[in-house]
Structure 1
Amino acid sequence: MSEPPHSKELPVRLLTDPVMIEACRARDFGRIFRLVKARAGIYPSMIARRCDLTPSRVGEVISGRRQLLHMDVIERISDGLRIPGHMLGLARRSWETPRNLTVTPREPSEQPVSVDVQLAEGLPGADVDSILALAAERHLSPSMLDALHSSITDYWRRDDEHGGEILRPAVVGQLRYVVGLLGGERPAPMRNGLHGIAAELARLTGWTYFDARQFNQARAYFTESLGLARAIDDRQFMANVLACMSLQATYEDKPGDALALVAAAQDQTRAAVETTPRVLAMLAMREAFAHATLRNHGATHTAISEAHTHFGRISTGDPDPAWVVYFDEPKLIVDTGIAHGRLGEAALAEPLIADALRREHQANHRGRAFHAFWLARTQLQRGKLDEACHTAMDALVPAAAVSSQRVAGHLREFYEQLEPFRQEPAAVEFESRLREILPGQVSGSPRP
């Protein structure tokens, strides 16, 4: 007797397990199927029936010899195994809505899926995934690499504007797609291009986890990115990834690790065929952050000076990699201010951060919020309570527009630093505004 449809739901403890959550986010169906088998007792043949797949196809996925990329297949897996849509980057599935809230469609419903599946199974030919894989093999070209690079640029833009949380499923899906393309025999330029794109996608994924303060996941993707860049000996990009990991270490309050990682990044640039002054300036500033976290004033000032010296050597014709173009003059200035701020040198930090903030692009919500909270912090350190609260209130709108736990963390730090001034009118006004715009960031009742 065949298994009744969906007779065995996935256990809640499996759906809430971080390993399962991460596998779903990455759309790693081999791992998902293995977890479902081990933790829910749903064997490959049962998975195949529930998801309208062939047993051989499920076996190939579990063994890592096949990837599932087509959205129709992903939706069938979500529905067949009762994995909530959001876990796989899908819209809410119809079965997730309670029956008493289900709206009867105005138009006649389509024929049950099972009828279409039965018809499809009766037809000869390859399955959809095989067709897509064949299409990718035959049409992979330099223009496709350009399109992938363009999508990465767009991801970063949207990350600045909205945060990376909602982008992550798409980025991870594209990462796994590109990694899947690395398996075949390709000319060296094409292979190197795919490795470079995969490295960028892995770094972007790591960055979205870092910005969400999910540091273990971030480190895993940064490490994957490092390996992909190493495979093509891209020393500059390896330095870039190590610099990201160094910055994360400062947030984890591991300044020794931060300094070691940025030193390793600088070693990579020395081994590179060519490294541009802009890359060196960015790395010197990350070194300044690490020293500042260690409260090493002399070394911080030396690193800041080196960053400005390298930046002064930038020329129009430099072959800067696309990933470092963000490090422009306003970024140099604001990072200089933040490094001084980390040392407690508020008088030096405030004018620098204020100048850079005036030049910040309006669409960069996270940058504007992040830097505004740093400015408010330095103003508060200088005893400028009214200015600090006004600056922080200006930061609330961009902070609300972007999903960033890093920004939220800086907001909470500033709010805690206001504790001695809670009864002051400026602090009361800021708290009232904060509760209005970002109510989830403050617990308890408003102060009288």
Structure 2
Amino acid sequence: MPDADRPQELPARLLTDPEMIDACRVRDFSRVFRLVKIKAGIYPSMIARRCDLTPSRVGEVIAGKRQLQHMDVIERIADGLRIPGDMLGLARRQWETPQALVVAERALPQLPEPEQQATTSLPGPDVDSILALATRTSLSTATLEAFRSSIEDYWRRDNQHGGEALRPAIVGQLRYVVGLLKEHRPPSIQNGLYGIAAELARLTGWTYFDARQYSQARAYFTEALQLAKEIDDRQFMANVLACMSLQGTYQDKPADSLALVTAAQDQARSALDTTPRVLSMLSMREAFAHATLGNRDATHQAIGEAHSHFEQIRQSDPDPSWVAYFDEPKLIVDTGIAHGRLGEASTAEPLIADALRREDRSNQRGRAFHAFWLARTQLDQGKLDQACHTATQALESASTVASERVTGHLREFYDQLAPHRQEPVALAFEARLRELLPLVSGPLRP
């Protein structure tokens, strides 16, 4: 069938076929592609074009020689073949939402009918509802500060438990603030609203990134960039680009990661108010990109620049609130991780261990990441008992956080254990893993 005549949607009989439903549920794309070919007439070359894959890769998947596990690839398949997101365990895809609803989402709230006024004007028990009621009557600098405080609280809870459960509230507040931007207000208030909207968009992108839903994350990061550009907040634009750079390392796109962090540094240097702490954080992100590329000398140079900038920090510096997390323990642990990415395990281990002893214990996700990194560097040096002990401790933090990135680090360590899987300490770790994280450990490879 000619490409121009291909169906835009899969036949309803295929989407309701029990075999297709089961194949999507377990993400068995070998079966999915075969069913799409047989029952929808979409051949492998067409699947490749629609999903931005190479024909040879599609052929290997159909033959059972390759599995597709990266979230961005799964999202491309859902969008290219028009498979509803819930069938593949994804969020609702943008094309699934009728256009009328998309427009309504950004529209200002409609006034309720007179008989409903008394009921709907009452705030709910949550802070967001109270803030929404307050901003309905007036906007002041105090209201902006209330918004900023709620954002700080979102970040705190995201660090403790992950952002999946928070996302609906964050997106709701983002759309409300974007709606407020359509009204004419004094420049100081309007600029403040743009900054708040940009931070809410970045936070939303971050929650999708943490869930490894990379396409959605990129869309919200782009929105954050556009909002920050409206007020020429170059430091914040640099911060968003740095987030996108970090995402590039997770997507195994190190060249993109380096290009994005270079753009971030250009933005930061062009701003008159960029602080040494921001420059230090950006240099460390550059080190991550170079380490992922295997550029040893460039990684070491970027690490040196990060430490040099950090040494210039003064208490009086007007640091943005979003960079406050980048303290000395964070600098040290990131230095260790950069060395770990280069395979320099003996250098990385003491740095990560020292930072773990000193960092904030309420940041459960960060502690889980760093502990798994420590375990990996210990295992790289043949310290099996120590590595399994460290990883077992990390499970305590990991079990309290809903984060696909944490799960990814756990799986990488588990895969690294493969040659030692029958050792008593490895068996004990796996038993504890299955006890604390049964939903994660179920599909782990034996």
**1:181 Cα deviation after fit:** 0.4
Match of 1:66 in 2: 107
Q: Is the 8 A contact 2:105 2:175 kept in 1?
A: no
Q: Residue type of the partner of 1:329?
A: E
Counterparts of residues 43-442 of structure 1 (less than 5 Å): 62=103, 66-68=107-109, 120=115, 136=135, 138-442=137-441
RMSD (CA atoms): 3.0
What do residues 351-374 of structure 1 show as CA deviations (whole Å, max 9, x unaligned)? 000000111222111011110000
Q: Which runs of 5+ in 1 are unaligned?
A: 1-10, 25-30, 37-60, 74-116
Q: Which runs of 5+ in 2 are unaligned?
A: 1-14, 17-82, 123-130
The alpha-carbon distance between structure 1 residues 302 and 186, as it changes in their structure 2 partners (threshold 3 A), is: same
The alpha-carbon distance between structure 1 residues 444 and 197, as it changes in their structure 2 partners (threshold 3 A), is: closer
What do residues 383-435 of structure 1 show as CA deviations (whole Å, max 9, x unaligned)? 00000000000000110100010010000000010000011111011011111
Q: Is the 8 A contact 1:389 1:427 kept in 2?
A: yes
The alpha-carbon distance between structure 1 residues 320 and 431, as it changes in their structure 2 partners (threshold 3 A), is: same
Q: Is the 8 A contact 2:208 2:214 kept in 1?
A: yes
| SS of the residue 1:363 aligns to | coil
Match of 1:106 in 2: none
The alpha-carbon distance between structure 1 residues 194 and 293, as it changes in their structure 2 partners (threshold 3 A), is: same
Name segments (4+ residues, structure 1) moved above 6 Å. Answer: 11-15, 17-20, 132-135, 444-447
**1:273 Cα deviation after fit:** 1.8
TM-score, reference length from structure 1: 0.74
Q: Distance in 2 between matches of 1:434 and 1:340?
A: 27
What do residues 309-334 of structure 1 show as CA deviations (whole Å, max 9, x unaligned)? 00000001000000001000000000
The alpha-carbon distance between structure 1 residues 14 and 380, as it changes in their structure 2 partners (threshold 3 A), is: closer
The alpha-carbon distance between structure 1 residues 306 and 178, as it changes in their structure 2 partners (threshold 3 A), is: same
Q: Is the 8 A contact 1:20 1:35 kept in 2?
A: no
**1:17 Cα deviation after fit:** 7.7
**1:23 Cα deviation after fit:** 6.0
Match of 1:21 in 2: 92
Q: Is the 8 A contact 1:246 1:257 kept in 2?
A: yes
Q: Distance in 2 between matches of 1:202 and 1:278?
A: 23
Q: Distance in 2 between matches of 1:120 and 1:409?
A: 52
Q: Residue type of the partner of 2:108?
A: Q
Q: Is the 8 A contact 1:20 1:32 kept in 2?
A: no
The alpha-carbon distance between structure 1 residues 446 and 240, as it changes in their structure 2 partners (threshold 3 A), is: closer
Q: Is the 8 A contact 1:161 1:365 kept in 2?
A: yes
Report which of the two structures shows the higher radius of gyration computed on alpha carbons.
Answer: 1
| SS of the residue 1:320 aligns to | coil
The alpha-carbon distance between structure 1 residues 20 and 308, as it changes in their structure 2 partners (threshold 3 A), is: closer
**1:442 Cα deviation after fit:** 2.4
Q: Give the aligned length.
A: 357
Q: Residue type of the partner of 1:336?
A: T
Q: Distance in 1 between matches of 2:132 and 2:355?
A: 47
The alpha-carbon distance between structure 1 residues 422 and 194, as it changes in their structure 2 partners (threshold 3 A), is: same
TM-score, reference length from structure 2: 0.74
Q: Residue type of the partner of 1:120?
A: E
| SS of the residue 1:300 aligns to | helix
| SS of the residue 2:92 aligns to | helix
1:34 aligns with 2:99: yes
The alpha-carbon distance between structure 1 residues 255 and 446, as it changes in their structure 2 partners (threshold 3 A), is: closer
Q: Is the 8 A contact 2:194 2:230 kept in 1?
A: yes
Q: Residue type of the partner of 2:99?
A: R
Q: Residue type of the partner of 2:200?
A: L
The alpha-carbon distance between structure 1 residues 295 and 15, as it changes in their structure 2 partners (threshold 3 A), is: closer
Q: Is the 8 A contact 1:341 1:349 kept in 2?
A: yes
Match of 1:87 in 2: none
Q: Distance in 2 between matches of 1:206 and 1:65?
A: 18
What do residues 19-44 of structure 1 show as CA deviations (whole Å, max 9, x unaligned)? 982569xxxxxx955378xxxxxxxx
